[in-house]
Amino acid sequence: MSCRAGSWMFAAAAVIVCLLDTAVFAEAKNFEDVRCKCICPPYRNISGNIYNINVTQKDCNCLHVVDPMPVPGHDVEAYCLLCECKYEERSSNTIKVTIIIYLSVVGALLLYMLFLLLVDPLIRKHDPYTQPLHNEEDSEEMRPRADAGPARGNTVLERVEGAQQRWKKQVQEQRKTVFDRHKLLS
């Protein structure tokens, strides 16, 4: 049942991330997030230029954006025909939030990895759990639901630890399959 609850929690977290994203997206249209960019190629003796200002989509054309106009009035039309204006939007907050979330996930994983590799073996030197899997029979029985009964572990901590041990066994088994025996994914 704990597996089930975990799944629900994961799903809820996913949906929250989703909503957060949309929320961020909705309030995001600040001044940094829209631009109208006009690229004008060289024309007669005027060199090429890039104009980049913040206007509404309606006003995103050469006449509004190119300022000051480098050509005299009768040439404006010809010059503006050459220019290409593009209205673009982005969400800087989505980018910021995503990158920061991503970095913190990587950071957390690295910390946990260090914990598993360095600290964990020291703590549980005498723990019966860490007995490596000797017989194959045992390792086949490590399916999540088979021994996830409520009987094991009274406190939350113990239960979490039990789950962690089971997970470790699974990963160990996966590692054996992929890296040592080369049965899968080679």
Binding site for other proteins (CB under 8 A): 3-4, 6-8, 10-11, 14-15, 17-18, 21-22, 25, 32, 35, 39-42, 47-50, 52-54, 78, 81-82, 84, 88-92, 94-96, 98-102, 105-106, 109-110, 113, 116-117, 140, 143, 145-146, 167, 170-171, 174-175, 177-179, 182-186
- Least CB distance to other proteins at residue 126 (A): 24
Q: Please say which residue, 144 or 158, places its beta carbon nearer to other proteins.
A: 144
User: Which residue's CB is nearer to other proteins, number 130 or number 177?
Assistant: 177
Question: Smaller CB distance to other proteins: residue 40 or 60?
Answer: 40
Shortest Å, Cβ 90 to other proteins: 4
Closest separation in Å from C-beta 131 to other proteins: 20
Q: 166-175: long-range contacts (C-beta < 8 A, 24 or more apart)? A: 166/142, 168/116, 169/133, 169/139, 169/142, 170/142, 170/144, 172/133, 173/133, 173/139, 173/142
What would the two tokens of residue 41 be? 């190629």
Residue 130: closest CA among 141, 139, 121 = 121
SS3 at position 67: coil
Nearer residue to other proteins within complex by CB, 87 or 128: 87
Q: 92-114 and 2-26 helices cross at what angle (nearest 10)?
A: 150
d(CA 64, CA 57): 11
Pick 78 or 123: Cβ nearer other proteins: 78
Secondary-structure percent of the chain, ordered helix, strand, coil, rounded to 5: 60, 10, 30
Q: How far is the CB of 79 from other proteins (least distance, A)?
A: 11
Q: How far is the CB of 84 from other proteins (least distance, A)?
A: 5
What is the side-by-side order of every strand in the sheet holding 34-40? 49-53, 34-40, 84-89
